[in-house]
Structure 1
Amino acid sequence: MLAKHAFYYFISHGLPALISFASIAIFTRLLTPEEYGIYALIFAIAGLINAVVFEWLKFSLIRYYPKYKDDSNFLETVKISFLGLVLTSTVVGLIFYLTFEQLSFAYLVLCLVLSWSQSWYGIHLSLLRAQLNPKSYGYLSFSRVALGLALSTSLILVGLNEVGLLIGMIAAFWLTLLVPTLKVWKVRPNVTHLDHNMLKGFVKYGFPLTITFLLTVVIHNSDRLIIEYLMTTSDTGVYSVTYDLTQQTIYTFMMVINLAAFPIAIKALEEKGEEAAYGQVKKNTSLIFLISIPAALGVMILSSNFVHLFLGAEFREQAMMLIPYIAIAAVLRGFKIYCVDIVFHLKQESSLQVIPVVGAAIVNIGLNFLFIPVYGIEGAAIATLVAYALAIVMSWIIVHVKINPLPFPTGDFFKIVLATLIMGLVIWPLRHEVGVATFIYQVGMGAVVYGISIIVVNALGVRGVLKQVYVSKIKGRFHA
């Protein structure tokens, strides 16, 4: 089931990821670093609003769907809670606007509406994940990204620049969500179906996650705000687009595995117990390493061609400098969220997640203020890498002491690292070559060498899997 669902999620995220790469290539050629920097700041603030106000509801939906899926009050409670949070964030936003005169009302509205759009989109995708419905998930993801590219590009070309980019993204969210919202969630909320006991369970489980996710977003986004404060909007734009491009390349693969794997781990816990769930987590971790480690090394080695293809000329020079730090940070971030923190979710010990993330967030902010004046935007990337490394160490210790030794696939990890190094040695001589055809050749060569190396070292018992496929599919058909 994991392989099947991971494949579907790979398709559903792989195609949107290609469109996202095209979006970055287009937007960095149509916008200046300063204009992209304004967009990045609004996006970062919307992300903070999403983390503080809405994210706990999404996590609660995934966690409790197996338990309440047959309860007619469940989805209505989620929907009414979301609407209440929209109203709350509107009131708080207006208070901020009236308190701080320098705030732009247009940018405030864009921040709020973008955060609502992201949140409702995330809630519906979470429902599809909980229902183990990757096909609908993929259709919605692809439609939103493709429509966003078309609308945003059109609005930029008519002269709306970064505002057009934001409006296009928001419109894409709601145009793709319109039919699912009407069909699944209905329009009119029915407050009589609000289950207060269910909501209390959501809050108890989700509130610590809100703090955790907020602090994770602080680690992820605070560097952009501090760069804006200490340097310029153009520097913010260069840093943001490099960060987004590199993270998206690596983190998307890790997210694909988790999208398929987390609901299966929850199902294993509910139906077979903790031992089966931990066994599933160990398999999930192996798969995440199988994809993320070679992706990170490949991006670092081929960074010259990578930025040449996907970034505008004004962004490239500094992007080359940032990519190695961000690539490593992406792997660390994914490992923490999808391999270590998963244990907190399984045991419903979400409050324990707060401790390491608080420490990492404080360190990240402090190092940003310390490093950026000395090293510029490179200092921000270093600070983020250190913060994620610290968060992993602290989380790992807490999991080991308070819950259960982390189900870490030591043997597979070293086999994957060895196969990745072999791949790196092969593509290293190609690192300075650029061009679309060259990039296809570089990636293809790396993938083939890595695949062969994985078979040779027998990571994840792949030889046994291939033998089983041969016997059941190919040899069986031949003899039939």
Structure 2
Amino acid sequence: MKVLLAFLVNTITNFFIGLVVAKFLGPEEYGRFALAFAIAVVVQTALYDWLRLSATRFYSERTRDSAPAVRATMDASFLGVTLFLFLSTGLYALIGPELDFESDLILLALLTATANGLFDYSTALARARFHDHAYGRLLFVKNALALVLIGGGAFLFHSASVALAGGVASLFGTVLFTRAALRDPGAPFRAAELQTTKWLVAYSAPIVAAHLLYQAMPLASRSIVASVYDFAETGQFSLAYDLGMRAVMAFGSALDVLLFQIAVAAHEEHGEDRAKEQVARNMSVVFVFLLPACVGLWLVMPSVEALIVPGQFRGPFGHYLGLLLPGLFAMGFMSFGINPVFQIEKRTAPLIVAAVAAVVVSLALLFVLPWGRDASNLAIAQAGGYLAALAVTIYYALRAQPVWPSFWDVFAALVATGVMYLALAPMRAFEPGFFTMLLQIGTGAAIYGVMVVIFDIAGLRSIALALLRPLIARA
């Protein structure tokens, strides 16, 4: 639970920092910031994400003692990949053609990719060992530094470059400050093994390839918006996508922080059949929480815009996010509900097929949908691609996963969400504000929560009672 609390605090802080950056940069400069950050995410995914995935799946207290080559190989690989990136960047600067984007922003994007890759790898190591204290300290230090360096840089200089530089400094500073807690004295570089590298890459490569295609989609969308419209419209489009995706992924990740490691532990201790049963339970929990969260976000959108979205972004923010939300739900459920089926089996090739389907459907929609005064067609195309990916992922998972959530859990969650929607939809016309949002959230949570308790959807009532009994007994 400490890990979950730390994660939630991190999520709230990231939201606040994102809003501060958008407010003080403004749409045009935020558009540059968002485009550079999208480049960083693509580079990080391509070069470093396999280390995070490998640490989450194969590193643990048991392997730390019994197989030190795993940690040594991952550490040595991070260093090797970073050297490759910087040598390639230097070579391109000498002989490569000039790019149609500010060179300082590209360089900062590459530094951001390395810093974020190191931070994500470090947090994955802490999570894999259930090292709650180290995980919480990493997030706390990162958030404190980011608030000062990124938010302060945007406030003082109104510059995308300064904000990105602040992000790089905060990430590197965090890892340096907390490095002692994550050291493995028994895993020096010389213990690294080429065969272990091949094994880790073989597991991670399909997932990384799929993630890379998904991350390339927002990068392509932002580039197209900047070319067809301008950086200001890129900023409007990007803030809606960034905050919406961050909300959905944070919600799913908060569950995944606990659920996936439980499934991995079940696999290690009891075998594949028990792990698949746990994955099915996890799938139910993710669906039961994520669906009403996404519907609820749309319902409270007017108040969210009025209360927290910077004035320069209001209107376009709600419009774009409303178009993107179905696709964002699909990405969240696929990432944290369905994909663990393949991760537990170490058979991740279907994820690439799903990602290719997303790209193909997005491109097809982009050619079919008409162009207007804004980038609505790009938002619809991107959401449509994510929905197609979810459909393909479910198709392959049905063939691989013998145990699935009960039909009743899925049906009951749909009905409960529908009842919540019918109750809250009239409130969307209320005057946007804090009390309206509080009324909507309280009413929605009460309605959905009562139905979950009455019908024990996904076994959540039973889990809650099991947690409460010791507290009641002590009282």
Aligned counterpart for 2:451 among listed residues 428, 450, 453: 453
The answer to whether the 8 Å contact 1:75/1:185 transfers is no
Aligned counterpart for 1:388 among listed residues 386, 389, 392: 386
Q: Displacement of 1:434 after TM fit?
A: 2.2
1:370 and 1:147 map into 2 onto residues whose CA distance is 45
> Given the superposition, is the C-alpha separation of residues 464 and 239 from structure 1 closer, same or farther in structure 2, using an over 3 Å criterion?
same
User: Quick one: which amino acid aligns to residue 105 of structure 2?
Assistant: Y
CA-based RMSD of the aligned residues comes to 2.4
User: Quick one: which amino acid aligns to residue 194 of structure 2?
Assistant: H
1:452 and 1:398 map into 2 onto residues whose CA distance is 34
Q: Is it true that 1:290 corresponds to 2:288 in the alignment?
A: yes
The answer to whether the 8 Å contact 2:149/2:167 transfers is yes
Q: Is it true that 1:30 corresponds to 2:24 in the alignment?
A: yes
2:230 and 2:465 map into 1 onto residues whose CA distance is 57
2:335 and 2:98 map into 1 onto residues whose CA distance is 38
Q: Is it true that 1:423 corresponds to 2:420 in the alignment?
A: yes
1:205 and 1:458 map into 2 onto residues whose CA distance is 36
Counterpart residue number, 2:407: 410
Q: Displacement of 1:160 after TM fit?
A: 4.9
Aligned counterpart for 1:87 among listed residues 83, 88, 91: 83
Matched ranges for 1:171-186 at <5 A: 171-185=169-183
Instruction: Name the TM-score, length of structure 1 as normaliser.
Output: 0.91
The answer to whether the 8 Å contact 2:24/2:158 transfers is no
Counterpart residue number, 1:249: 247
The answer to whether the 8 Å contact 1:19/1:145 transfers is yes
Q: Displacement of 1:437 after TM fit?
A: 3.9
Q: Displacement of 1:427 after TM fit?
A: 2.6
Identity in percent: 25
Counterpart residue number, 2:346: 348
Aligned counterpart for 2:213 among listed residues 205, 212, 215: 215
Aligned counterpart for 2:232 among listed residues 231, 234, 237: 234
After superposition, give the CA deviation of every residue in 1:216-274 in whole Å (9 maximum; x if it has no partner): 21234332222223221111111111111122223211111112111211121122122
Question: What SS is found at the alignment partner of 1:373?
Answer: coil
The answer to whether the 8 Å contact 2:104/2:161 transfers is no
Counterpart residue number, 1:4: none
The answer to whether the 8 Å contact 2:50/2:204 transfers is yes
> Given the superposition, is the C-alpha separation of residues 53 and 365 from structure 1 closer, same or farther in structure 2, using an over 3 Å criterion?
farther
> Given the superposition, is the C-alpha separation of residues 43 and 365 from structure 1 closer, same or farther in structure 2, using an over 3 Å criterion?
farther
Question: What SS is found at the alignment partner of 1:357?
Answer: helix
Aligned counterpart for 1:192 among listed residues 187, 190, 193: 190
2:167 and 2:447 map into 1 onto residues whose CA distance is 38
The answer to whether the 8 Å contact 1:209/1:351 transfers is yes
The answer to whether the 8 Å contact 1:286/1:413 transfers is yes
Q: Displacement of 1:397 after TM fit?
A: 1.8
Counterpart residue number, 1:170: 168
User: Quick one: which amino acid aligns to residue 54 of structure 2?
Assistant: S
Instruction: Name the TM-score, length of structure 2 as normaliser.
Output: 0.92
User: Quick one: which amino acid aligns to residue 64 of structure 2?
Assistant: K
Counterpart residue number, 1:3: none
> Given the superposition, is the C-alpha separation of residues 340 and 314 from structure 1 closer, same or farther in structure 2, using an over 3 Å criterion?
same
The answer to whether the 8 Å contact 1:329/1:385 transfers is yes
Runs of 4+ in 1 over 6 A off after TM superposition: none
The answer to whether the 8 Å contact 1:62/1:126 transfers is yes
Question: What SS is found at the alignment partner of 1:69?
Answer: helix
Q: Displacement of 1:112 after TM fit?
A: 1.1
- Which region of structure 1 is more displaced relative to structure 2, 303-312 or 72-81? 72-81
The answer to whether the 8 Å contact 1:372/1:378 transfers is no
Which sections of structure 2, spanning at least 5 residues, go unmatched?
Answer: none
- Which region of structure 1 is more displaced relative to structure 2, 38-47 or 415-424? 415-424
Q: Displacement of 1:411 after TM fit?
A: 1.4
- Which region of structure 1 is more displaced relative to structure 2, 227-236 or 457-466? 457-466
1:396 and 1:429 map into 2 onto residues whose CA distance is 34
User: Quick one: which amino acid aligns to residue 427 of structure 1?
Assistant: L
Q: Displacement of 1:171 after TM fit?
A: 1.4
Question: What SS is found at the alignment partner of 2:159?
Answer: helix
The answer to whether the 8 Å contact 1:21/1:310 transfers is no
User: Quick one: which amino acid aligns to residue 428 of structure 1?
Assistant: A
Count of paired positions: 469
Q: Displacement of 1:435 after TM fit?
A: 2.4
Counterpart residue number, 2:11: 17
User: Quick one: which amino acid aligns to residue 430 of structure 1?
Assistant: M
Q: Displacement of 1:123 after TM fit?
A: 0.5
- Which region of structure 1 is more displaced relative to structure 2, 106-115 or 392-401? 392-401
Q: Is it true that 1:69 corresponds to 2:64 in the alignment?
A: yes
